Structure 1
Amino acid sequence: MYLLLIAYYLSILNFYLGALIYALPIPLTGLKRWAPKLIVDAFFIASLALSIDVIINIAKFIQYMLGGNWSIFIDTVRSNIALRSIIIIGLDSLASYIRLVLPGVARIIRMSVNVLSISLYALIAIYILSVFIYKSLWLLTSLGIAFMSIPFRIARNGGAFLLSFALVFYIGLPLYYSFLSILFSPYQLRFTSPITQVYIVNAFDEPILDGYIGIELKDGTYIGPIPLTYGYSLINLFPNTLNDTISLYFDASGHQFYTNISNTSISLLCQDSSSTFGICTIKTKAYGVLAYRDGITLHVYPKPNNVDIYSFTNNRISMKVDTDIDLEIYISISEAYSITKMVIDNSILNKISDYLKYQWKWYDVFGNTYVVNLAPGTHTIDIELNYDSSKKVEPSDSIIYYSIMNSMHLYDNSFLNIFDEFSRILYIDIIGAPLYLSLLLSISLGLSKLIGGSSRLRVII
């Protein structure tokens, strides 16, 4: 924040320096030519400093639309590093034991260890760079703008590169494994494996921004929970599963809610769906669901005329329900919550335990579901909650991680062959990492020339 403030003040200094040089009575061409440049730089740097939050949010949106997810990416790299390390230690120990009995086999194992070690170094480099970019995005962008704001463009190119480097690598690094999957996929399958974007809405077609989905395959295998991000979930299915019948569920608070996608194929749904950046977008309705947040799910049966939710936090739920028929409002809460007060139409319910319908287990989270019966009419419901931050509200990261990995590798049978796996390591980890980093670096250099170039910027401004 201080760096942006410094950049803003320096942009003001640039403006005054430019105005001062314009006003100088000395006709020095070499000096006079700096006047318009300094004034243009002042407005440009001030605009960057004031809109950096918007720029970073745009970068995050682009990354999301392309299918990037930082938490999944970092967890994947970390697990691959751990796996490579275990394999290297195991093979090295095996080679040490058999080198006197089977020296030829020991040499082959040693060669494999060397290849795996190079692969491990590449993964470690990716991991260190990723953590640095993820943790230092604001610092790098602010520092880049601060360098660009130094008068007379002393450090403009360096600042433009820092800014471009931070933005490009923040967008691109989480897409590393998508890039590798394109490299390793057979040529004829590269462009027939769409990423499906599942968009969840509630019973009234209002978007559900948080929560999880589950996928049931035709053989009965269930994969979940897969988290939603900004109301979407990205599913990467290989061609041999595109025509298989699957069912999607909204997976939340111990329930698997039915959706309008049941026993149908993704390829059939994508034919009539919209697409963004080539990504198939499917609108999925979770039947009976009203809202979800941090382990709390509000659902209803049957569907009322209208529900207005005024407050939905960890401490309070307030809503108005309009219905022509008898219905039940379900409040499903994780073990971290307890209901301390419930008011229906200005009447306090004395014994809340009487409304406890059943208990459930949601993967590694326990919880309760309370049910309130409502007669026809318009009703107001106000619920006060006690939140214990020491208890879980949602499934553990490890459970979510393995669900995501299962959804990404529904098609993957080729890696069962050890030789294919070794070839994959040799080809992807050793060649893919420097190739991808070089690609991102080239894009960063190109963007820095666009940002730092003087003639182009004068035309734009």
Structure 2
Amino acid sequence: MINIGEVLLISSSLASLTYVIGALIMALPIPLYGVKKWGTRLITDGIYATIWTDIYGLTMYIIQYINNLLGASWSYYYQWIYAVLVEEVDLYAVIRTAYVFASVSQDPAITVFLAPLSFIFSFLTGLITTTETLLVISNVVYEYTPIFVALGILFLSMPFRIGRNIGSSLIAFGIVFYSALPYLPNFLTSLGINVLDLSTSSGNITDTINFLITQAIPLLIEGTLVFPIAYLIILSGITIGLGSAISGYSARMPIPIEIF
């Protein structure tokens, strides 16, 4: 298990090393702007990385604060996603039962449903896999966000901006996804989508297939595939923007300013 304290200690040491290298470059008796420019950058990067190391605790507090501000809760989110899985498994059982009934039936009017049931069966299996994948992503975000942020600071502290992009992306990923991923159920509700509002049909096989095709499957496609993927794309876009801001590449002054 990665020790966050040790990671931050290494980050602090790398930030100091970056600063010292920058100071040494500035002290070189070489009147070349390209060389001196790196000295200025390294000094600034060292200070910047030190600040990030010092505000690690504050960063984690802000992440939790944004999460609360959105009205999102990881406990409720997990209850919701497990309930969705149960709903999908229940439908899976209904389809399997209907398929077995149709396959053993000698009535041609019933065996004709084997093809659509097989298609729905395969499609629902894919939806279950999608929900399980979302659950895995959620577990990674929930369990490892503190490590992602700490490792991001570590990469951000490396001299000559070797890990600047990776570091800023890790920090941004932790901030955005930990704060906003649990808001997914609220996001779906705001769109009028409630995948838990399904009542399994208990009629004959014709009613069951009609229920699956007209109600259950379309609602599950919207609530577990289309809009969750769209939401993840939105979060990814915010992550890219925030990562760019943290790396400093989107916050340049319109005119050059020499600090040192």
- Please give the range of the TM-score, normalised by the shorter of the 2 chains: 0.7 to 0.9
The answer to whether the Cα contact below 8 Å between 1:137 and 1:166 also exists between their aligned partners in 2 is yes
CA distance in 2, matches of 1:435, 1:103: 38
Q: Secondary structure at the match of 1:99?
A: helix
d(CA) in 1 for partners of 2:177, 2:226? 18
Give the counterpart of 1:449 among 218, 239, 244: 244
Structure 2 counterpart of 1:224: none
Match of 2:148 in 1: 140
Identity %: 26
| 2:160 is equivalent to residue 152 of structure 1 | yes
Aligned-residue offset at 1:122: 1.7
User: Match for 1:104 among 103, 112, 115?
Assistant: 112
Equivalent-residue separation in structure 1 for 2:229 and 2:196 (angstroms): 27
Q: Does 1:57 find its partner at 2:65?
A: no
Which of 1, 13, 24 matches 1:9? 13
* 1:72-112 Cα deviation digits (max 9, x unpaired): 11122123223322431442243133125322222222222
Structure 1: gaps of 5 or more residues:
186-408
Aligned-partner residue type, residue 86 of structure 2: A
Greater relative contact order (CA < 8 Å, ≥ 6 in sequence): 2
In the TM superposition, 1:171-182 aligns within 5 A as 171-182=179-190
8 A Cα contact 1:69 1:174, kept in partner: yes
CA distance in structure 2 between the aligned counterparts of 1:10 and 1:111, rounded to whole angstroms: 56
Identify, as 1 or 2, the structure richer in helix. 2
User: Secondary structure of 1:68's match?
Assistant: coil
CA distance in 2, matches of 1:415, 1:95: 20
Compared CA separation, residues 413 and 97, structure 1 to 2 (3 A) = closer
* Deviation of the 1:458 alpha carbon: 7.1
Q: Distance in 2 between matches of 1:33 and 1:97?
A: 76
Is the aligned partner of 1:438 residue 2:222?
Answer: no
Inter-partner Cα distance in structure 2 for 1:414 and 1:79: 11
Q: Check conservation: 2:176, 2:239, Cα contact below 8 A.
A: yes
Return the alpha-carbon distance in structure 2 between the equivalents of residues 413 and 57 of structure 1.
Answer: 32
Structure 1 ranges of 4+ moved more than 4 A: 412-418
Tell me how far 1:58 sits from its aligned partner: 1.1
- Displacement of 1:44 in angstroms is 1.1
**Equivalence map 1:16-415=2 (5 Å):** 16-101=20-105, 102-184=110-192, 415=198
Q: TM-score by structure 1 length?
A: 0.48
**How many angstroms apart in 2 are the aligned matches of 1:455 and 1:21?**
26
Shift of 1:420: 3.1
Shift of 1:62: 1.2
* Greater Rg over alpha carbons, structure: 1
User: Would the aligned equivalents of 1:11 and 1:42 in 2 still touch at CA under 8 Å?
Assistant: yes
Contact 1:60–1:171 under 8 Å retained in 2:
yes
CA deviation profile, 1:411-461 (whole Å, cap 9, x unmatched): x997448443332112221211211111111110010011112472679x9
Q: Which residue of 2 aligns with 1:421?
A: 216
Aligned residues: 236
Q: Deviations over 1:327-367 (max 9, x none)?
A: xxxxxxxxxxxxxxxxxxxxxxxxxxxxxxxxxxxxxxxxx
Post-superposition offset of 1:172: 1.1
Paired with 2:189 and 2:115, the residues of 1 have a C-alpha distance of 31
Q: Secondary structure at the match of 1:184?
A: coil
Cα distance in 1 between the residues matched to 2:111 and 2:162 = 61
Q: CA deviation at 1:31?
A: 2.0
Measured in 1, the distance between the counterparts of 2:233 and 2:158 equals 29
Q: Which structure dedicates a bigger proportion of its chain to strand?
A: 1
1:456 counterpart SS class: coil
When residues 94 and 416 of structure 1 are mapped into structure 2, their CA distance, relative to the original with a 3 A threshold, is: closer
Displacement of 1:155 in angstroms is: 1.1
